[in-house]
Structure 1
Amino acid sequence: MASSDPIIPTTFVLNNGIMMPSIGLGTYRIRQSDIVMQVVDYALEAGYRMFDTAAVYGNEIHLGEAFKTLLPKYDLEREDIFVTTKLSPSDHGSRAEQAYQKSLENLDLEYVDLYLIHFPGGAKLPAEDKRNTKMRELSWCKLTELYDDGKVNAVGVSNFTVAHLEGLMESNHGLVPAVNQVEWHPYYTQSSLYKFCKQHHITLQAYCSFGGTSCSNNSLLNDPVVVSTALKLEVTPAQVLLVWALQQDVAVIPKAVHPEHIKENRSLNFKIPEEDMKALNQLSEKNVKYAWDPSIVA
């Protein structure tokens, strides 16, 4: 039986002292303005205070409209929510600062709480092109300047491997990313990346927590180990997958559009027993990846 005590972390302290909610709402592929408005409404009502978007999602304007409309409805101020957006691969390098300002304009905000480099490679460069490294470092330099100037509360990266992180940290900019947002679920755990980020106080944030649901693949949600654990704890498979991450100090940003799923994904007041965690961890032997692969980027 699931416990009623709040066991999972509700916030993570980033390496610059900023508090980030442990559970946020992912908005990938939620593009219609009316749907965005409904989803944000459901989420705020359910207690979500973190919202994740990106320039390439094409919904920043709609999110901005939703925040402006709905925060007063719930007696909330801008400071009560945590907003993340990301630098598009097409804006890598010298355009990074201009791209950030465009995102602020779209979101109708004076700042975002977390700004990430979305991908280690540039949009128009082959993955193996060595210019990706220089472009990535220039983007990080621009993000560091934004942070130093107080224009953003924290900066980080997404889809970065250990090699990408090492290269960034060896550059002369001196700022360690606060967050690395990556694909991370029982089928794909990236253990060496997990250890590296722990060692360097980089918070891991998982996307694709439910596996390949964005491409209509429910294999992970239907996995016998996940299903049996859910039945044992009297919760849903989706809840099991989210708590599995949170128990390992990995933040989550599950995407949902239905109100019951939005609420369910934040109702995570239970702990997975050690033997069940072990069984879930063993699923990593499948090594199934659903999203884009950064490991091939120079």
Structure 2
Amino acid sequence: MKNLQDKTILNNGVKMPWFGIGVFKVEEGPELVNAVRTAIKHGYRSVDTAAIYGNEEGVGQGIHEGLRETGISREELFVTSKVWNSDLGYESTLTAYENSLQKIGLDYLDLYLIHWPVEGKYKEAWRALETLYKQGRVKAIGVSNFQTHHLEDLMKDAEIKPTVNQVEYHPRLTQKTLQEFCRDHDIQLEAWSPLMQGQLLDNPVLKEIGSKYNKSAAQVILRWDLQNGVVTIPKSTKEHRIVENASVFNFSLSKEEMNRIDQLNQNHRVGPDPDHIDF
């Protein structure tokens, strides 16, 4: 991983950038459009959204403006969205995908994910994702917030193995067992909320490690993600932060520093527990 355009190869051969921009809780409007456009301008090649975020149209506008300004092709971008819980089902998932495509204004998505493992619903939704993949409508399919037992259950009946599992992942929630399972089954782990919604930015261990490299605590965390082989998509709408977040390719953490960060784990979630979904 030498630069922002470096990619991991998913289990179906599709290449996915190690680093991208997330837009969770960024509302529709100029701020969102500008954030996506700015990220593309500064070399980001991956954008992650979801139907439930209610901002796919703004993401699409930002993508199109970013492509126009930089002159890069659509094929150089990796765009992800997710099907929401209320649309989990075979036909409803197919419809949800078409709605997302229409809002973003693209002919295909690079990655489409099941957002949460709603019991009794995710297998039918997965069948729809497999159909979309076989039809060439989407480049890769995967899941989000799936624990090991969800993955095992899904793969018992699945024709196609998930390429990605996007989960809450940060130094307070390292999910080592899940990480090992995904690695063993060639499923790429991806981190959402890698900065724990800003709660780790004053952590003394992270700040101390960062001072050695003249880096912020946020940059240390994002570097830790990458060295753990985890794709990461930090959210920001401010240009200086978008640039800073991506400035993590010019230093490396030592094994001892990686271990010190691992030891911050408390199995603490800022998001919902995937085993107790009530939405």
Superposed CA RMSD in Å reads 1.6
Unaligned stretches of 5+ in structure 1? 122-131
Partner of 1:20: 16
In the alignment, the residues of structure 2 paired with residue 260 and residue 210 of structure 1 have an alpha-carbon distance, to the nearest angstrom, of: 16
In the alignment, the residues of structure 2 paired with residue 273 and residue 179 of structure 1 have an alpha-carbon distance, to the nearest angstrom, of: 27
Deviating more after overlay: 274-283 vs 30-39: 30-39
Q: Give 2:152's aligned amino acid.
A: E
In the alignment, the residues of structure 2 paired with residue 259 and residue 28 of structure 1 have an alpha-carbon distance, to the nearest angstrom, of: 17
Deviating more after overlay: 68-77 vs 44-53: 68-77
Q: Give 1:266's aligned amino acid.
A: A
Q: Could you tell me the TM-score, scaled by structure 1's length? A: 0.89
Across the two proteins, how many residue pairs are aligned to each other? 276
In structure 2, relative to structure 1, the CA distance for the partners of 1:266 and 1:296 (3 Å cut) is: same
Structure 2 counterparts to residues 1-298 of structure 1, below 5 A: 6=2, 10-94=6-90, 95-121=92-118, 132-133=119-120, 135-171=121-157, 173-213=158-198, 218=199, 220-269=200-249, 270-284=251-265, 286-296=266-276
1:230–1:240: 8 Å Cα contact kept in structure 2? yes
Q: CA deviation at 1:297?
A: 5.2
In the alignment, the residues of structure 2 paired with residue 73 and residue 6 of structure 1 have an alpha-carbon distance, to the nearest angstrom, of: 25
SS in 2 for 1:160: coil
Q: CA deviation at 1:8?
A: 8.8
In structure 2, relative to structure 1, the CA distance for the partners of 1:65 and 1:247 (3 Å cut) is: same
In the alignment, the residues of structure 1 paired with residue 181 and residue 85 of structure 2 have an alpha-carbon distance, to the nearest angstrom, of: 24
Q: Give 1:110's aligned amino acid.
A: D
In the alignment, the residues of structure 2 paired with residue 7 and residue 142 of structure 1 have an alpha-carbon distance, to the nearest angstrom, of: 35
Q: Could you tell me the TM-score, scaled by structure 2's length? A: 0.95
Q: Give 2:124's aligned amino acid.
A: L
| Stretches (4+) displaced over 3 A | none
1:184–1:209: 8 Å Cα contact kept in structure 2? yes
In the alignment, the residues of structure 2 paired with residue 44 and residue 239 of structure 1 have an alpha-carbon distance, to the nearest angstrom, of: 19
1:245–1:252: 8 Å Cα contact kept in structure 2? yes
In the alignment, the residues of structure 1 paired with residue 60 and residue 144 of structure 2 have an alpha-carbon distance, to the nearest angstrom, of: 22
In the alignment, the residues of structure 1 paired with residue 247 and residue 208 of structure 2 have an alpha-carbon distance, to the nearest angstrom, of: 19
Deviating more after overlay: 64-73 vs 12-21: 64-73
